[in-house]
């Protein structure tokens, strides 16, 4: 911020974000609840499938053989395990007295088909990513969020019916539509943030509203596990999740508007603060918005974000879908213990990103680090921490459950730092094209989500620690590459191509836009 600007807007005009009367905090909390609903209805598919499917039968199908007796089934699977396990994993067989942990599911779906069902949401998201960004840049983000949660809720309600009547293909269709709604939801959430949150608060705001992921992981995994073990059965998982979506739709309709100037219950002091500290409108005269494709596609910052988006989506798939599967396969936990264990890494993620996000915003406000410095520090620390944790996690098995849990919590905790890294960068480099930029990040990033189930299905036949070790090694190399690329090409500043001449405007000298009249405030 320039000195002249600082004098025009003294520190006494500051309106804190983390305050119970902060209207923008209320909006961000509703965005957090939307994230919670999305994760509750989509991210627990790993544990849900473990509850729905017969793991013993799936392992037998993976071994490409058949037998008519339980003893024969165990013998065949043990033979397959022997080919894939070392002495450490063999001791797990002795400790548990079994080679595959089963949660009593009734569907006989192969491991390959289970991978397809997991990836169905990613395929739907991939195909609809660009249209979603186009819609967000041109229509009401508030209404798009409502539409996305509605589709999610209906798909969740229909999941048990489709799976029972049409089998794995019905489950695939339900997950496909969940993916479409998810890819509508993400750019709309980001659009709401750019309309409500100044740049110096974005790291903290992003940490808060994405905390819905971790809250769902902490409480949702326990809820899913309890429902799985109860007499209500696996279908109650999807019906209960839909109730959160219905509640959110009612609250959202009555409490939130698209931007601060037409919202309810906002103090004039906060409205003035936002008018003075938000970037200026990028299309003030209503001119047709033109996306600067050539400048964007030739930007090293853009492609750096895309690569880290792929890695970030691989991490999301691992943490939010496959942690319960890992605990079941490698640690051989029962379903209720699995729910408890799976909640702890999400708690680690939540704590780390909130503390780190607050610290990064403090460093920016005090001008100790620039926006670019904070995103580079955050992303590099995140990726390198993940790579070290995944490397040591490769050597864990069911005889070391505590260390495995701590290492997975470390992986999840370090991933939380990336919210102040590549994700804050994504929200910052092109505010006027946030919908298109987010959608492109989703399109390319979803390649990482689609790749993850296929990669895990390729290495995983019965779920040995050694099979998971191959998967974790890929994460080691991917994380290191993400850190290197972001160190050289990452940025937290608004890019020149965001102020294209096609917008008929010049780049401002500061992030603060003075309000010269009441008309300016109304336009805001």
Q: Do the Cβ atoms of 500 and 318 come closer than 8 Å?
A: no
Highest mean pLDDT among 58-72, 295-309, 325-339, 458-472: 295-309
Q: Do the Cβ atoms of 355 and 245 come closer than 8 Å?
A: no
Q: Do the Cβ atoms of 52 and 163 come closer than 8 Å?
A: yes
278 domain residue, yes or no: yes
Domain interval for residue 401: 22-507
3 domain residue, yes or no: no
- Tell me, what's the pLDDT at 462? 76
Q: How confident is the model at residue 326 (pLDDT cuts 50, 70, 90)?
A: very high
Tokens of 105: 């599911």
Q: Please give the mean pLDDT across all residues of the chain.
A: 80
Sign, CA torsion 399/405/408/410: negative
363 domain residue, yes or no: yes
Kindly give the interhelix angle for 87-96 and 465-489, rounded to the nearest 10 degrees. Answer: 120
Distances (CA, A) of 284 to 169, 503, 510: 48, 9, 17
SS3 49: helix
48 domain residue, yes or no: yes
Tell me which of 47-56, 279-288, 361-370 is least confident.
279-288
- Tell me, what's the pLDDT at 285? 52
Nearest Cα neighbor of 349 from 414, 408, 402, 405 is 414
Q: Do the Cβ atoms of 479 and 387 come closer than 8 Å?
A: yes
265 domain residue, yes or no: yes
Nearest Cα neighbor of 345 from 368, 315, 306 is 315
2 domain residue, yes or no: no
Highest mean pLDDT among 234-238, 242-246, 327-331, 494-498: 242-246
Sign, CA torsion 42/48/54/56: positive
Q: How confident is the model at residue 299 (pLDDT cuts 50, 70, 90)?
A: very high
Tell me which of 93-97, 309-313, 424-428, 469-473 is least confident.
93-97
- Tell me, what's the pLDDT at 497? 84
User: Beta-carbon neighbour count of residue 417 at 10 Å?
Assistant: 25
The overall longest dimension of the chain from CA atoms, in Å, is 82
Tell me which of 197-201, 218-222, 243-247 is least confident.
197-201
Number of domains in the chain: 1
Nearest Cα neighbor of 382 from 415, 354, 358, 410 is 415
28 domain residue, yes or no: yes
Interval 2-24: pLDDT, tens: 444 333 334 445 667 777 778 88
Q: Which residue has the higher pLDDT, 418 or 202?
A: 418
Interval 428-457: pLDDT, tens: 888 878 778 877 887 888 788 888 988 998
Q: How confident is the model at residue 102 (pLDDT cuts 50, 70, 90)?
A: low
5 domain residue, yes or no: no
Mean pLDDT of 412-422: 93
Q: Do the Cβ atoms of 428 and 494 come closer than 8 Å?
A: yes
SS3 51: helix
Tell me which of 241-245, 287-291, 352-356 is least confident.
287-291
Nearest Cα neighbor of 316 from 451, 131, 149 is 451
Interval 224-264: pLDDT, tens: 888 888 888 889 999 999 999 999 999 999 888 877 777 77
Residue position matching structure tokens 């809820």: 223
Q: What CATH number is attached to the domain comprising 78?
A: 1.20.1250.20
Q: How confident is the model at residue 198 (pLDDT cuts 50, 70, 90)?
A: confident
**Taking the mean position of all CA atoms in its chain, how far away is CA 340?**
20
């Amino acid at each position: 911020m320039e000195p002249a600007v600082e004098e025009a807007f003294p520190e006494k005009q500051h309106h804190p974000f983390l305050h119970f009367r902060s209207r923008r905090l209320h909006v961000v909390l509703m965005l957090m609840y939307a994230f919670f609903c999305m994760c509750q209805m989509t991210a627990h598919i790993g544990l849900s499938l473990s509850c729905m499917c017969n793991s013993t039968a799936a392992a037998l199908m993976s071994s490409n053989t058949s037998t008519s007796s339980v003893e024969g089934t165990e013998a065949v699977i043990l033979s397959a395990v022997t080919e894939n396990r070392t002495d450490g994993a063999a001791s797990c067989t002795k400790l548990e007295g079994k080679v595959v942990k089963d949660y009593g599911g009734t569907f006989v779906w192969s491991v390959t088909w289970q991978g397809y069902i997991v990836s169905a949401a990613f395929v739907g998201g991939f195909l609809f990513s660009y249209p979603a960004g186009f819609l967000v840049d041109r229509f009401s983000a508030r209404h798009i969020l409502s539409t996305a949660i509605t589709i999610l809720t209906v798909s969740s309600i229909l999941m048990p019916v489709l799976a029972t009547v049409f089998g794995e293909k019905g489950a695939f269709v339900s997950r496909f539509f969940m993916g479409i709604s998810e890819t509508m939801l993400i750019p709309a959430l980001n659009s709401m943030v750019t309309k409500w949150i100044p740049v110096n608060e974005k790291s903290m705001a992003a940490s808060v509203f994405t905390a819905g992921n971790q809250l769902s992981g902490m409480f949702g995994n326990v809820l899913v596990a309890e429902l799985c073990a109860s007499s209500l059965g696996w279908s109650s998982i999807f019906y209960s999740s839909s109730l959160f979506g219905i509640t959110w739709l009612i609250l959202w309709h009555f409490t939130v508007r698209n931007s601060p100037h037409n919202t309810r219950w906002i103090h004039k002091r906060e409205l003035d603060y936002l008018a003075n500290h938000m970037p200026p409108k990028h299309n003030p005269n209503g001119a047709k918005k033109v996306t600067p494709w050539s400048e964007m596609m030739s930007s090293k910052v853009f492609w750096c974000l895309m690569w880290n988006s792929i890695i970030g989506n691989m991490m999301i798939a691992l943490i939010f879908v496959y942690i319960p599967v890992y605990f079941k396969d490698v640690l051989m936990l029962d379903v209720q213990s699995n729910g408890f264990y799976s909640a702890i890494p999400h708690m680690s993620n939540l704590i780390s990103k909130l503390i780190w996000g607050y610290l990064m915003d403090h460093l920016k406000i005090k001008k100790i680090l620039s926006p670019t410095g904070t995103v580079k520090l955050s992303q590099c620390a995140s990726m390198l921490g993940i790579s070290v944790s995944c490397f040591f996690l490769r050597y864990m098995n069911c005889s070391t459950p505590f260390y495995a849990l701590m290492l997975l919590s470390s992986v999840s905790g370090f991933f939380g730092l990336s919210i102040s890294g590549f994700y804050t960068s994504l929200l910052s480099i092109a505010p006027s094209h946030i919908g298109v930029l987010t959608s492109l990040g989703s399109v390319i990033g979803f390649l990482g989500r689609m790749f993850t189930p296929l990669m895990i299905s390729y290495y995983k036949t019965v779920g040995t620690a050694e099979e998971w070790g191959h998967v974790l090694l890929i994460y080691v190399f991917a994380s290191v590459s993400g850190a290197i690329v972001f160190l050289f090409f990452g940025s937290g500043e608004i890019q020149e191509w965001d102020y294209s001449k096609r917008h008929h405007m010049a780049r401002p000298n500061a992030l603060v836009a003075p309000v010269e009249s009441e008309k300016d405030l109304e336009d805001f």
